[in-house]
């Protein structure tokens, strides 16, 4: 959400994406399940990273500008 909302200016929620795969090392692949814009469509896949620090889940999604 934090990475895509500024681009698409449309609210979406956890049910609008799914985790395809993840590793204990912190890599994750996510697929959109809804159209957010003409560029960010249902089926688009994104690579991301995550980690847990002090009981908090931290996530990083990098999108080319």
Question: Using CA atoms, how far apart are residues 49 and 3, in angstroms rounded to an integer?
Answer: 13
Helix ranges (H only) for the chain are: 5-8
Name the residue range of residue 28's domain.
Answer: 5-61
At residue 19, the pLDDT reads 95
Band of the pLDDT at 65, cuts 50, 70, 90? Answer: low
Question: Using CA atoms, how far apart are residues 45 and 43, in angstroms rounded to an integer?
Answer: 6
At residue 7, the pLDDT reads 84
How is residue 8 annotated by DSSP?
A: H
Band of the pLDDT at 14, cuts 50, 70, 90? Answer: confident
Band of the pLDDT at 63, cuts 50, 70, 90? Answer: confident
- Please report, rounded to a whole number, the percentage of residues in the chain having pLDDT higher than 90: 69
Neighbours of 36 (CB within 10 A): 20
| Each residue's pLDDT tens digit, 41-60 | 999 999 999 999 999 999 99
Number of structural domains in the chain? 1
């Amino acid at each position: 959400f934090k990475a895509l909302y500024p681009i698409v200016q449309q609210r979406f929620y956890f049910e609008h994406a799914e985790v395809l795969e993840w590793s204990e090392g912190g890599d994750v692949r996510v697929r959109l399940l809804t159209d957010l814009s003409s560029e960010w469509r249902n089926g688009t896949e994104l690579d991301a990273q995550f980690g847990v620090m002090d009981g908090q889940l931290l996530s990083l999604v990098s999108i080319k500008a």
